[in-house]
C-alpha cells in the first residue's frame, strides 16, 4: 500500500500546477473574468490613485521614480518574492512596497491590509496579469520554505502539504481543496467580502489548524511565500483574483 | 465618498437597450451581526439606487440587508438622445453620492 501512495504523491507533485481559478464555481470565475464585475478592481482603482499620490517630506509619489506603472511594473509581480540583494533575505512584493515607502519616500508606513496597501499591491500586481510566475528557485530559503510547508503545525497537527499536496481536489466540507497557489494575490475572497493579502490567507490557514500564525514580518512567512511561488512556477498571475 | 465603478457603453444605438454595470464599495452591514463584545452592529446598507438619463428616471432599486458587501448591479436602459447617465445612491447614514457618465446616441 505504501509504495502506491508514494507513487501517487510523486505523480501529483509532478503534474502541472492547477490554479484555484479552475476549482472555483462558474459564477466566481465569471466575476473574475469581467473587470467591471470584479470587486478587486475597487481596490485596484484605489491603488492607481495611491500610485501618484505624494507622501513623505519630499512630496514624492511612486510615480515620481517609477513613472507609468503600466510600463515600469510590468512583470514585476511575477518575479516576487525574490532574494533582496542588500539584506540577502527573501522579500515579498508587499514588503518591497512597504520598504520603498519608508526608505525612498520616507513616508509613514501604510497599515498592513489597509485599503491603500492592498490597493497598491493589487495595482502593481495587475500589471503582470497573464504573465507566468517565475521565481528563482536556487536559494536555501526555498528549501526552508518547503520544510515549513511540510511541517505539521497546531493542535490539529496538520501541514500545508497534507491538504494542498496530498488532498488537493478532494473536499473539505462542501468546498474543493485547492492546490493553494499564490498567483492571484491580493485577491477578493467572497468569504471575506473583501480584498486580502497572501499573508492574510496564510494566517487564516494557520489559525484554522489552531497554530500560532507566523508574524507578518517574520522570515518564516517570507520563506513560505517564496516556496509557494516556486511551487506555482509557470501559473499565470491573476491579480486581482476572485475566490470563494 | 466610496469608490464606485460605473460602466456604460460610450456610444449606444438609438432606442436599443444597453447594459449599465455598477459596482459600489460598501460594507452592506446587515444589522443582524454582533461584534466581539456581543453588541449589535447597526445596520448600514445602501438602501436606494436611482439612475437617470438627463432628467428622466430609467431605473430605481430599493436594497435590503440580504445583499452582499460591495454590491454589483447590471441593468439595461434605452436612450433616444445623447445625455448624461446619473446614478445616485443613499445609505442608512443618509450619505448620498452621485456618479455620472456620458452616453452618446449614434
**Interface size, chain A vs chain B, as Cβ–Cβ contacts under 8 Å:** 30
Beta pairing, strands A242-243 & A187-189: parallel
The answer on pLDDT for A103 being more than 90 is: yes
Grid coordinates of A129 = 496579469
Per residue in A104-159, pLDDT (tens digit) is 999 999 999 999 999 999 999 999 999 999 999 999 999 999 999 999 999 999 99
Q: What is the pLDDT of residue A82?
A: 94
CA A24 – CA A33 distance, rounded (Å): 12
Q: What is the pLDDT of residue A1?
A: 46
Per the CB < 8 A criterion, the answer to whether B33 and B41 are in contact is yes
Per the CB < 8 A criterion, the answer to whether A121 and A197 are in contact is yes
Grid coordinates of A94 = 508587499
Provide the shortest C-alpha distance from residue B16 to chain A (in Å).
21
Per residue in A42-94, pLDDT (tens digit) is 999 999 999 999 999 999 999 999 999 999 999 999 999 999 999 999 999 99
Residue A46 in contact with partner chain B when CB distance is under 8 A: yes
Q: A15 falls in which pLDDT band (50, 70, 90)?
A: confident
Residue A194 in contact with partner chain B when CB distance is under 8 A: yes
Per residue in A173-207, pLDDT (tens digit) is 989 999 999 999 999 999 999 999 999 999 999 99
Domain ranges of chain B: 4-105
Task: Give the CATH class of B4-105.
Answer: mainly beta
Provide the shortest C-alpha distance from residue A187 to chain B (in Å).
14
* CATH node for A40-126: 1.10.760.10
DSSP structural state of residue A77: G
CA A213 – CA A209 distance, rounded (Å): 10
Residue in chain A lying closest to B71 (CA) = A39
Domain A17-35+133-243 has CATH 1.10.760.10: yes
CA B104 – CA A187 distance, rounded (Å): 35
Per residue in A70-80, pLDDT (tens digit) is 999 999 999 99
Q: Which among B42, B41, B51, B57 has a CA at the least distance from the CA of B4?
A: B51
CA B35 – CA B28 distance, rounded (Å): 15
Whether B23 and A46 lie within 8 Å, measured CB to CB: no
As to burial, measured by CB atoms within 10 angstroms (0-12 exposed, 13-18 middle, 19+ buried), residue A212 is exposed
B90 backbone dihedrals φ, ψ, rounded to 5°: -125, 140
Q: Which among A46, A226, A16, A29 has a CA at the least distance from the CA of A126?
A: A46
Question: Which one of A31, A37, A42 has the shortest CB-CB distance to B3?
Answer: A42
The two domains A17-35+133-243 and A40-126 share their CATH topology (first three levels equal):
yes
Q: Is A205 a known active-site residue?
A: yes
* Residues in chain A within 8 Å Cβ distance of B97: none
Task: Flag whether the ipTM exceeds 0.90.
Answer: no
Residue B68 in contact with partner chain A when CB distance is under 8 A: yes
Question: Which of A39, A47, A240 is the best residue to mutate to test the B interface, defined by the most B CB atoms within 10 Å of its own CB?
Answer: A39
Report A:132-191 residues touching B (Cβ under 8 A).
190
Per residue in B32-45, pLDDT (tens digit) is 999 999 999 999 99
CA A186 – CA A118 distance, rounded (Å): 7
Grid coordinates of A135 = 521565481
CA A78 – CA A183 distance, rounded (Å): 8
Per the CB < 8 A criterion, the answer to whether A179 and A17 are in contact is yes
Per the CB < 8 A criterion, the answer to whether A187 and A196 are in contact is yes
Amino acid at each position: 500500500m505504501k509504495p502506491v501512495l508514494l507513487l501517487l504523491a510523486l505523480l501529483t507533485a509532478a503534474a502541472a500546477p492547477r490554479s484555484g481559478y479552475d476549482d472555483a464555481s462558474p459564477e466566481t470565475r465569471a466575476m473574475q473574468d469581467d473587470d467591471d464585475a470584479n470587486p478587486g478592481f475597487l481596490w485596484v482603482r484605489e491603488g492607481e490613485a495611491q500610485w501618484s499620490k505624494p507622501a513623505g517630506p519630499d512630496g514624492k509619489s511612486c510615480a515620481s521614480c517609477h513613472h507609468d506603472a503600466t510600463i515600469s511594473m510590468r512583470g514585476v509581480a511575477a518575479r516576487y518574492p525574490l532574494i533582496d540583494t542588500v539584506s540577502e533575505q527573501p522579500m515579498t512584493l508587499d514588503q518591497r512596497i512597504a520598504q520603498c515607502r519608508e526608505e525612498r519616500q520616507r513616508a509613514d508606513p501604510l497599515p498592513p491590509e489597509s485599503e491603500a496597501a492592498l490597493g497598491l499591491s493589487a495595482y502593481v500586481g495587475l500589471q503582470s496579469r497573464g504573465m507566468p510566475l517565475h521565481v528563482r528557485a536556487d536559494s536555501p530559503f526555498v528549501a526552508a520554505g518547503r520544510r515549513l510547508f511540510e511541517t505539521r503545525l497546531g493542535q490539529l497537527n496538520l501541514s500545508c502539504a497534507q491538504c494542498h499536496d496530498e488532498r488537493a481536489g478532494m473536499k473539505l466540507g462542501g468546498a474543493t481543496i485547492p492546490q493553494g497557489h499564490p498567483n492571484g494575490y491580493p485577491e477578493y475572497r467572497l468569504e471575506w467580502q473583501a480584498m486580502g493579502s497572501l499573508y492574510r490567507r496564510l494566517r487564516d490557514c494557520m489559525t484554522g489548524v489552531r497554530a500560532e500564525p507566523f508574524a507578518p514580518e517574520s522570515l518564516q512567512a517570507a520563506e513560505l511565500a517564496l516556496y509557494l511561488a516556486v511551487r506555482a512556477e509557470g501559473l499565470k498571475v491573476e491579480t486581482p483574483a476572485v475566490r470563494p | 465618498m466610496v469608490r464606485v465603478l460605473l460602466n456604460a457603453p460610450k456610444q449606444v444605438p438609438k432606442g436599443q437597450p444597453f447594459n449599465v454595470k455598477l459596482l459600489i464599495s460598501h460594507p452592506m452591514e446587515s444589522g443582524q451581526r454582533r461584534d466581539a463584545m456581543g453588541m449589535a452592529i447597526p445596520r448600514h446598507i445602501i438602501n436606494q439606487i436611482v439612475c437617470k438619463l438627463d432628467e428622466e428616471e430609467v431605473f430605481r432599486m430599493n436594497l435590503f440587508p440580504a445583499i452582499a458587501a460591495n454590491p454589483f448591479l447590471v441593468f439595461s436602459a434605452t436612450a433616444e438622445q445623447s445625455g448624461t447617465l446619473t446614478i445616485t445612491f443613499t445609505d442608512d447614514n443618509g450619505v448620498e453620492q452621485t456618479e455620472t457618465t456620458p452616453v452618446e446616441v449614434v
